[in-house]
Amino acid sequence: MANEEIKVIAQNKKARHDYFIEQTLEAGIVLSGTEVKSIRQGKVNLKDSYALIEGGEIILKGMHISPYDQGNINNKDPLRDRKLLLHKSEINRLIGYTLQKGMALVPLRLYFKRGMVKVELGIAKGKKLFDKRDDIAQRDAKREIDRKLKEQYK
């Protein structure tokens, strides 16, 4: 099981820019057949999506799955809410995290694992503007150092 094949479909790069990711966990997702076919074609966007706890269930909101081209009346609303599949103990733990001030549940990536669509959910804390600037400055400095080292060893 250690070398399971994971095929990443979509990533939420904006989430890593806007939040500090404290912890991650894997969740299943309830989808219709045409949605899975559309996801296999890569027609999914996680950019503005987030997860909420409603009535003891985790609901994913704002994830856009484009309608399947060959689908007919079976196509669902592209922005509909989708239920995430987690154990009760995991949901209770997430409730505890989200009650803390500034914590949110954000989907980080969508992938296939053993033929099933999975969502990597992150327990995240929002970044302030100066934190984002810090990250950009560090990334630029690292890029500059790598560039200089590459020139030096040419």
pLDDT tens track for 129-154: 777 788 788 888 889 888 888 888 76
How far apart CA 95 and CA 115 sit, in angstroms, is: 29
Name the E strands within 50-115: 50-54, 57-61, 64-65, 82-85, 103-113
Domain boundaries 6-127, CATH class = mainly beta
pLDDT at 28 exceeding the cut of 80: yes
Prediction pTM value: 0.71
Break the chain into its structural domains and give their ranges.
Answer: 6-127
pLDDT at 71: 66
**Please, are residues 60 and 121 in contact by the beta-carbon 8 Å criterion?**
no
In sequence order, what are the residues at sequence separation of 6 or more whose Cβ sits closer than 8 angstroms to the Cβ of residue 95? 53
